[in-house]
Structure 1
Amino acid sequence: MAPSWFVKNTGQAEFWTEERCFITELMNTTTSPETSLAIARVEPGVTTQLHSLTGICERYVVRRGEGVVEIDGQRQALSVGDQAIIPAGAAQRIVNTGVEDLEFYCVCTPRFTPETYVNLED
């Protein structure tokens, strides 16, 4: 029997979201409700859906490409290694301004759950 602190890799595959990006969840389990970690991938020229996360602070860390993040109407260019800290409830979206896929880590505290996602485009 595995220890309670061990979480087995279940081979999470990348999936498409209505947010207009691809997500690979690296860590999102009830075993660790305080944090989740995912990789988001946005194709060139694509702007993600304007949205907020209720009760969740999100952090982006860019690992590939470049883009412009918008948080509560304020825009900032991002490139590899840059970070954005998105307060809980803030309106957010990101556009890929480069010629290659934009990829960034998404760290959420507490962990992301679908019911916290609020589409602000409707």
Structure 2
Amino acid sequence: MAEEDKIVFANGKGEFWTDERCYITELHNCDASPEASLAVARVEVGVTTQLHSLTGVIERYIVRQGEGNLEIDGVKQRLQVGDQAVIPAGAAQRIENTGAVDLEFYCLCTPRFFPESYVNLEQ
């Protein structure tokens, strides 16, 4: 690995809104690390994210604030702070914030997330 590929500087992008009905802050998603990406998702109170799947990408959620119901391939499971979920590649998924505060969770994707891997299942 070249010396210039060992450090990844902040992209300055910050939190942004997605059509998935949540906010995303990308913490790590770069060419220097194609094997994984890491983001924080924030879902507002009462919101359910868009039903979707990720082609060829396994996603892991790690809840850091709030609570909600995660649906994977039609099966719902309640999640709260500290809980983790592994979402298989291609699985239909969405999460509903059922709490009184914004639901925040880490999204660890392997391999790294690309917008082209996202499939909207509500169309």
Task: Pick the TM interval, shorter chain.
Answer: over 0.9
In 1, the alpha carbon distance for the partners of 2:12 and 2:76 equals 35
Residue type matched to 1:26 in 2? L
Q: How many Å apart are 1:9 and its aligned residue? A: 1.5
Matched, 1:46 2:57: no
Match of 1:84 in 2: 85
Matched, 1:96 2:75: no
**What are the residue-to-residue correspondences of 1:53-68 with 2, within 5 Å?**
53-68=54-69
| Partner SS for 2:42 | strand
Match of 1:69 in 2: 70
Question: RMSD in angstroms over aligned alpha carbons?
Answer: 1.2
5+ residue gaps, structure 1: none
In 2, the alpha carbon distance for the partners of 1:95 and 1:22 equals 14
Q: How many Å apart are 1:12 and its aligned residue? A: 2.7
Which portions of structure 1, spanning 4 or more consecutive aligned residues, are displaced by more than 2 angstroms?
A: none
Partners of 1:12 and 1:26 within 8 A in 2: no
5+ residue gaps, structure 2: none
In 2, the alpha carbon distance for the partners of 1:108 and 1:4 equals 20
Count of residues paired in the alignment: 122
| Partner SS for 1:115 | helix
Q: 1:74-98 CA deviation, whole Å, 9 max, x = no partner? A: 0000000000100000000000000
Q: How many Å apart are 1:67 and its aligned residue? A: 0.2
| Partner SS for 1:100 | coil
In 1, the alpha carbon distance for the partners of 2:72 and 2:38 equals 20
In 1, the alpha carbon distance for the partners of 2:93 and 2:86 equals 11
In 1, the alpha carbon distance for the partners of 2:122 and 2:100 equals 26
Match of 1:24 in 2: 25
